[in-house]
Structure 1
Amino acid sequence: MSQVLTQPTRLLYTPAEAAKVLSFSRSTIYNLMAAGALPYVKHGRARRIRWTELERYASSLEPLTG
């Protein structure tokens, strides 16, 4: 089951904001970023995640079947 996120109000999100959007912990977001599963942009020391990457990642998640 694929669920598309609603249209964003902004293009870039902090890891903490991305965690809220995806309903994950902030640590999980940083782990996904470090593993390359969730691409991000860097400006100075700040890391930001594009809305399109959040939507792509959410769409790639497969539901568990029991």
Structure 2
Amino acid sequence: MRDDELLTVPEVMARLKISRSTVYDLIRNRRLASVTIGRARRIPAHALADYVHAHLEEAA
């Protein structure tokens, strides 16, 4: 996964094994950064990595 890669919501759903509504909840609550391009929502790969790392640190 490249740091400058932009992921779709379904790609994030598949990687985290969570529902579409959960992804949008994370975005709405500003726990997962995203950008809107036209009508498309994209999540930067580095934002997903940051989110996962933050949860790993919380669990430790």
Q: Which band: TM-score by shorter chain?
A: 0.7 to 0.9
Q: CA RMSD in A?
A: 1.8
Q: Hey, which bits of structure 1, 4+ residues long, moved more than 2 A?
A: none
**How many residue pairs get matched?**
57
**TM-score normalised by length of structure 1:** 0.76
2 CA distance for matches of 1:36 and 1:11?
Answer: 19
Identity across matched positions, percent: 37
* 3-state SS, counterpart of residue 39 of structure 1: coil
> Unaligned regions of 5+ residues in structure 1, if any?
1-7
Q: Larger Rg: 1 or 2?
A: 1
Query: 1:22-61, aligned counterparts within 5 Å?
Result: 22-61=16-55
**TM-score normalised by length of structure 2:** 0.82
> Unaligned regions of 5+ residues in structure 2, if any?
none
Q: Which has the higher helix share?
A: 2
